[in-house]
Structure 1
Amino acid sequence: MKSMHSIDLETVEMTLDIMKYAINRISNTSPDLSKPKKEEELLKLVGETVTEKGIGGEEAFRLFKDVLVKASVPVDHPRHLAFVPAAPTRAAILFDLVTSAASIHGAYWMTGGGGIFCENQAMKWLVSLTGLPENAFGVFTSGGTAANLSAMIAAREYWRTLDDQNKSLKALVITSMGAHSSVKSMAKVIDADIITVDDHEEHKLTGEALQNTISTLSEFDRKRLFAVVATGGTTNAGIIDELDHIAEICKTEKLWFHVDAAYGGGALAAPSVRPLFKGIEKADSITIDPHKWMFSPYDCGAVIYKNMELARNAHSQKGSYLDIFKDEGAQGFNPSDYQIQLTRRLRGLPLWYSLAMHGTKKYTEAIERGLSLAQNAAKQIEQMPHVELIREPGLSCVLFKRIGWTPEDYRDWTYKNHDEGFALVTPTKWITNSTNETCARFCFINPDTTEKDIEDILKTML
């Protein structure tokens, strides 16, 4: 009986088919803006695909190409401006294929030394953007959620070492109301309470608002407060908290200072807005997602620590079958020692290859392009009578409203544009004068988006 690991004619033909598809997809700069179908409908179209004897590689691939991929939304479409889209470089996409083909386990240097070396080259650049001290470093994770969680576990474990009584206390974190949902989710996972606060005007965490909140805590709550999570670019509006002032308060109050820059961290490479991040260099830990604004394929996040030893103390796993990885003969940088995952693929390799191929200057240019598109969108909105800016652009996010529209109008407009395969732009909410207002939102990541795309989308609101 033929083994499923054997190399035969069917495998060769399957390889050629897949490579042909990949080449065609990578070279397609404007793929169809597909839309999802209900699970029941997909099941009727393709049937059961996992069977005892299999349906064959050719049939499975046909179903994917003809049905299943067409029920998915390509995040790199130039008129996909919803959520936080992505636009991985062709180089990064190709090397994602190489990463899988190379079949390297990236948890320990003993098994993944060469690949980890490449990841670390890319990480050096990320760390250099933050301005953190010389010994700061980081590791690649599956995304911002895993990065935030890894950082908070390191923070909590460090806090517990400061006083034995802390081990019996339920920890407490302060963050802003605009913080990403993963921050609140992270608090649940580590069984910590969370206080959300902002200045109620710009919807950012300010030094004054933070200090006032800390000052009003009870003695018990102050004792269990261990960290502050600031945001370096909220996903809804691109708002950057007062990082510098927050850092000084955290230093005085002896609190761990974490900055969630999962979306906004890419802008650290853009000179036009880099000053807005003043104070990030004082953070104890930082989250950045290369699969957002650094043009990597999913899934690639990163967590960076000022003191790597504190992270290692929290995350390094022990087990008899793992002892060899700690042996002198296998020594090297072990990424699994600094984040929650043990088994890991080399997520940073596609970013490394793209950086090595194009150079960091090209990254700066592409990120500045997203910022420029946001400014152009604001200018166009100001010149059109039927739409109105909610606030000035925050990084590459633009909030605006169609005058006279209801929440239902925004919903119907979103579905109409998507159903027609024209654009995907979704509504959000913004609090103005204590009123939670529905509005539209652009988020510019893809440098292939054009000013004409923006104009055409705005005209669909007429």
Structure 2
Amino acid sequence: MAGPNLFQNGESVSLQATHTRLMEELCNYFLFTQTALTSPRIIDLANEEEVVYMCNAARPATHATPLGQVVGDMIRIMSHRILMDHPKFFRFIPSPVDENSCLGNMITAMYNVRSWILGSGACTVQDTLIQWFAEQAGLPSSAGGIFVSGGSIANLTAILTARDAKLHFEQRHKAVIYVSEQTHSSIAKALIKPTSLLQEIEKDKKSGLVPFMVVATCGITNTGGIGELKALADISQSENL
């Protein structure tokens, strides 16, 4: 059984009409999930039949598929999820969906701005906001950065930045990062977790390793706890990390 076809009887429609119909469908769905207290289900896991259907739908077809059918398949496939924007949804880490953020994502995708030369306007706004965040955190005017898609990519960016700033290429195989038990999993995987930072740094140096980075946590994923940021910053500065 295929998903619903938004355009019946093989009707030919313009790109604008396609977008309008899709936006209406998405808006209706969003409004329904915001007001429905009993349905749809908060957790909708695909059964075996649906998994088979989705696998078949994901394989490239040997012929052109009507756009309405493609959109209908997408709606059916996306219905199997945890409904984080449901009024009765109160747990799990990701935040509920906000209609304004959905519009923001759509605008970002449509304009496809990726660098200053491709979109100086958006980059100016990004730089201004980053400067504002730096001011709120008490960082110097020289502080900078970029917005990324989420915490995992942000952590990876920070690690690469610290690596390139503190390590020579031939030192990388001996590099050490210090994390806590509550550090985000994107960093904590395969990394040591010391109980006493200074002792661990000294021990690692004696072993011929090269400490280069300390990961301080400001807002633990599960509890919101904040580490001893100033003390960790002082140690990092004194040890040139």
TM over 0.5: yes
Task: State the alpha-carbon separation in 2 of the partners of residues 137 and 168 from structure 1.
Answer: 25
Other-structure match for 2:217 = 231
CA contact (8 A) 1:232 1:239 kept: yes
Other-structure match for 2:233 = 247
Query: How many aligned positions are there?
Result: 224
Task: State the alpha-carbon separation in 2 of the partners of residues 211 and 78 from structure 1.
Answer: 47
Other-structure match for 1:76 = 85
Alignment of 1:172-321 (within 5 A): 172-185=176-189, 194-198=191-195, 209-217=196-204, 219-221=206-208, 223-255=209-241
**Deviation per residue, 1:157-206 (Å, 9 max, x gap):** 11125xx8x63652011111111110034xx6xxxxx32034xxxxxxxx
CA contact (8 A) 1:76 1:85 kept: no
**Cα distance, 1:92 vs structure 2:** 2.3
Task: State the alpha-carbon separation in 2 of the partners of residues 78 and 132 from structure 1.
Answer: 39
Cα gap change, 1:168/1:131 in structure 2, threshold over 3 Å: closer, same or farther? Answer: closer
> Secondary structure of 1:172's match?
strand
**Cα distance, 1:26 vs structure 2:** 4.2
Other-structure match for 1:23 = 27
Cα gap change, 1:40/1:117 in structure 2, threshold over 3 Å: closer, same or farther? Answer: farther
Task: State the alpha-carbon separation in 1 of the partners of residues 100 and 174 from structure 2.
Answer: 46
Task: State the alpha-carbon separation in 2 of the partners of residues 169 and 41 from structure 1.
Answer: 46
Structure 1 segments of 4 or more deviating over 6 A? none
What is the identity, as a one-letter code, of the residue corresponding to 1:242? Answer: E
Task: State the alpha-carbon separation in 2 of the partners of residues 168 and 86 from structure 1.
Answer: 36
What is the identity, as a one-letter code, of the residue corresponding to 2:106? Answer: L
Other-structure match for 1:158 = 165
Cα gap change, 1:38/1:229 in structure 2, threshold over 3 Å: closer, same or farther? Answer: farther
> Whose strand proportion is higher, 1 or 2?
1
Question: RMSD value over aligned CA atoms?
Answer: 2.7
> Secondary structure of 2:198's match?
helix
**Deviation per residue, 1:106-151 (Å, 9 max, x gap):** 1x21112122223233323332332211111110122211111111
Other-structure match for 1:97 = 106
Other-structure match for 1:291 = none
> Secondary structure of 1:95's match?
helix
Cα gap change, 1:47/1:173 in structure 2, threshold over 3 Å: closer, same or farther? Answer: closer
CA contact (8 A) 1:34 1:70 kept: no
Other-structure match for 2:5 = none
CA contact (8 A) 1:171 1:226 kept: yes
**Cα distance, 1:55 vs structure 2:** 2.4
* Residue 58 (str. 1) matches residue 68 (str. 2): yes
**Deviation per residue, 1:225-279 (Å, 9 max, x gap):** 1111111122122221111111111111111xxxxxxxxxxxxxxxxxxxxxxxx
**Cα distance, 1:81 vs structure 2:** 3.4
Task: State the alpha-carbon separation in 1 of the partners of residues 127 and 48 from structure 2.
Answer: 41
* Residue 129 (str. 1) matches residue 136 (str. 2): yes
CA contact (8 A) 1:230 1:243 kept: yes
Residue identity (%): 25
Q: Unaligned 5+ residue runs, structure 2?
A: 1-11
Task: State the alpha-carbon separation in 2 of the partners of residues 114 and 39 from structure 1.
Answer: 48
Cα gap change, 1:87/1:123 in structure 2, threshold over 3 Å: closer, same or farther? Answer: farther
Cα gap change, 1:119/1:52 in structure 2, threshold over 3 Å: closer, same or farther? Answer: farther
Cα gap change, 1:70/1:22 in structure 2, threshold over 3 Å: closer, same or farther? Answer: closer
Task: State the alpha-carbon separation in 2 of the partners of residues 218 and 230 from structure 1.
Answer: 20
What is the identity, as a one-letter code, of the residue corresponding to 1:14? Answer: T
Higher relative CO (CA 8 A, sep ≥ 6), structure 1 or 2?
A: 1
Q: Unaligned 5+ residue runs, structure 1?
A: 1-7, 189-193, 199-208, 256-462
> Secondary structure of 1:18's match?
helix
Task: State the alpha-carbon separation in 2 of the partners of residues 184 and 119 from structure 1.
Answer: 29
- Under a length normalisation based on structure 2, what TM-score does the superposition of the two structures give? 0.79
CA contact (8 A) 2:93 2:221 kept: yes
CA contact (8 A) 1:172 1:224 kept: yes
